Amino acid sequence: MSDFSGFPRDFFTFFEDLAGNNNRPWFQENKQRYYDSVVNPISEFIVCMAPELRRISRHY
């Protein structure tokens, strides 16, 4: 089981910044930040929640 310690502060800041810079050049410059602050934490959250999701949903 993964140790999910919560979303980093930059998780929410990333989306705020993206809202004002929703273009390919900005995203390309911030791609690593996207993985570090969004993709990896979301993946850890899903792994951590998997046992509970299996328990409550026959579709998981």
- pLDDT at residue 56 greater than cutoff 60: yes
**pLDDT score at 2:** 62
| % of the chain at pLDDT higher than 70 | 95
Q: Give residue 7's pLDDT.
A: 97
Three-state DSSP at 19 gives: helix
- Which helix (H) or strand (E) element contains residue 7? none
pLDDT tens digits for 21-47? 999 999 999 999 999 999 999 999 999
Q: Determine the pLDDT at residue 3.
A: 81
Name the residue among 28, 35, 27 with its Cα closest to residue 10.
35
